Structure 1
Amino acid sequence: MVKLLRKTHTVLYYGAVLFFFVLAYPILRYFTFRPSKYYNQIVFLRKWISLLACWLVGIRFKVTFEATIDWTKPYVICPNHTSILDITAINYVCNQPFSFMGKIELLDNPVTNIFFKSIDIAVDRKSNISAFRSFKRAHQLVKEGRTVVIFPEGKIDDEYPPQLHEFKSGSFRIAVENQVQIIPVVLQDAWKILWDDGLKKGSRPGVIHITVLAPIDTQNLSTEASNQLQIGVYHKMKTYWDIYNDH
């Protein structure tokens, strides 16, 4: 019975996403013809499509900030990744326009496709050429004063219950080379609400707890120092992750 209820909730969640996406589609489609001009408007619609869908099925977010964030500056935001709800969680947290970097398969999704063809960055991690082009695009956005969100684990792992996995270097190199601050974000328990895409375990209403750590300065750091930064951010995020995920 519980499994059936969780599966039903997942269907309702996807239905809610599709409902709000279809409502927004005409104006969204118009904006994507000129994404550089309407960047902020596309981000706004992406945010509210995802938040309204969660609200409709009883999913809420509770955020704790370690420090005050100056949202007038660009950042590289680094969240952990266990659920498709992580995207909505970052939409909820981030109080400025930004671009996601995500897996190339999101281009095949009828909802996410329109965003990854306009404001977000699709990357095929199996292709060195694709990865190079994607990170070059991320560099360009940061130089333009945009914030970029990169999941440093690279993907949602197949392991259940999920762990915080080793980080990849790309997001840290972008931050260091462009001298912008990194904001680590710990999405504590999104997987307990909806793990991965929800198709295996289903989903349920509930509260997702988010911890936004203090921005980390990268001024005067060398490219070589990004490796130590990467390790340090991982261990700090794991400290907070373990609070809600003591398996």
Structure 2
Amino acid sequence: MKRFLKQIHRYLYIGSVVFFFILYYPFLYYYSRKRERFTGLNKVRRSLGFVTSAAVGFFYRFSFEKPIDWSGKFIICANHSSILDITAITLMVRSNFAFLGKEELLNNPVTGLFFKTVDIPLNRESKMSSFRAFKRADEYIRNGMSLVIFPEGKIPDTYPPQLSTFKNGPFKLAIEHQIPIIPVSITNAWEKMWDDGSEYGSRPGICHICVHSQIETAGLTVDDADLLGRKVHDIIKGRLEKNET
């Protein structure tokens, strides 16, 4: 019975996303045409993320180790175990930003709108796709935008999810542009909805997100990318393990 109710809740969430996406679509379409900075589109996306979640009882609580000056530009790196992570980060970032994510999201009717406009699709199996993606990411950073990258590359297949090894692309990018990394630990979103909820369903509740102090990259070289990646991995892993105890 409990599992049945969780599947019902998942369908309610899908219905909420579809309903509000259609309701917001004129605004999304309008702002997606303004390609200068996508500020308006991100504001609408933030509002859409909040209402689709709140309608079915998903809420997000953020704790910041230190205040963040969102007038700067950052590479934001978070662990990834739930599609709710995307909403969590969308609500967290208070400046203009873009996700760098897997190419398959182009085919989703909701995420496809963003990945055909502001966000950056990436096929890690294709060198040409990776080149195009990181070239576009480079242009975004030069134009003052922040980037959100899940450095695991995908949601882990294990349940409960375990933090996977990080790809070093985000850390090379941060070092090349000498901009800070913001590590983010999303501690329990998977308990509300693991992956897309298709296997275990979902349930309402509060998702807790710890936003760690930014890590400066000034003075680092690309040879330090692996070390930087391990540092970020250890920070996030330490917070996730603390949540388990």
TM-score using structure 1 length: 0.97
Query: Counterpart of 2:8?
Result: 8
Moved over 6 A (4+): none
The aligned residue for residue 242 of structure 1 is 241
**Where do residues 136-155 of structure 1 align in structure 2 (5 Å cutoff)?**
136-155=135-154
Matched with 1:56 is 55
> Where do residues 150-165 of structure 1 align in structure 2 (5 Å cutoff)?
150-165=149-164
Q: Quick check: 1:124 aligned with 2:123?
A: yes
Alignment partners' CA distance in 2, 1:145 and 1:6: 41
Residues 189 and 245 of structure 1 are in contact (CA less than 8 Å); yes or no, is this contact kept in structure 2? no
- Uncovered stretches (5+) of structure 2, i.e. residues with no partner: none
Contact 1:79 1:185 in 2 (8 A): yes
1:114 alignment partner, SS class: helix
Distance 2:28 2:188 in 1: 31
**Cα displacement (A) at 1:166:** 0.7
CA contact (8 A) 1:20 1:53 kept: yes
**Aligned partners of 1:205, 1:195: CA distance in 2, in Å?**
12
Give the drift of 1:35.
2.2
Q: Distance in 1 between matches of 2:49 and 2:194?
A: 16
Per the TM alignment, residue 100 of structure 1 is displaced from its structure 2 partner at its CA by 0.4
The one-letter code sitting in structure 1 at the alignment partner of 2:29 is R
Q: 1:32 Cα deviation (Å)? A: 2.0
- Aligned residue in 2 for 1:25: 25
Q: Deviations over 1:109-158 (max 9, x none)?
A: 00111110110001111211111111111111111110000001001111
1:193-232 to structure 2, matched below 5 A, reads 193-232=192-231
C-alpha separation in 2, matches of 1:44 and 1:27: 10
Shift of 1:171: 0.5
Separation in structure 1 between the aligned mates of residue 111 and residue 51 of structure 2, nearest angstrom? 16
Equivalences, count: 245
Alpha-carbon distance between aligned partners in 2 of 1:78 and 1:48, rounded to the nearest angstrom: 22
Question: TM-score normalized by structure 2?
Answer: 0.97
CA distance in 1, matches of 2:198, 2:222: 40
How far residue 97 of structure 1 moved from its aligned partner, in angstroms, is 1.7
Residue identity opposite 2:36 in structure 1 = S
Distance 1:245 1:45 in 2: 35
**Mean alpha-carbon deviation: is it higher for 126-135 or for 178-187?**
126-135
| Contact 1:100 1:120 (8 Å CA) reproduced | yes
- Residues 178-214 of structure 1, C-alpha deviations (whole Å, 9 max, x = no match): 0000000000011000000111110000111100000
The alignment's C-alpha RMSD in Å is: 1.0
SS in 1 for 2:210: strand
Q: Distance in 2 between matches of 1:245 and 1:145?
A: 37
Q: Which runs of 5+ in 1 are unaligned?
A: none
CA offset digits 1:15-68 (Å, max 9, x no partner)? 11111110111222122233226x111111111111111101011111111111
Spell out the pairing of 1:80-119 with structure 2 (5 A cutoff). 80-119=79-118
Percent sequence identity over aligned pairs: 43
Quick one: distance in 1 between partners of 2:34 and 2:52?
Answer: 26
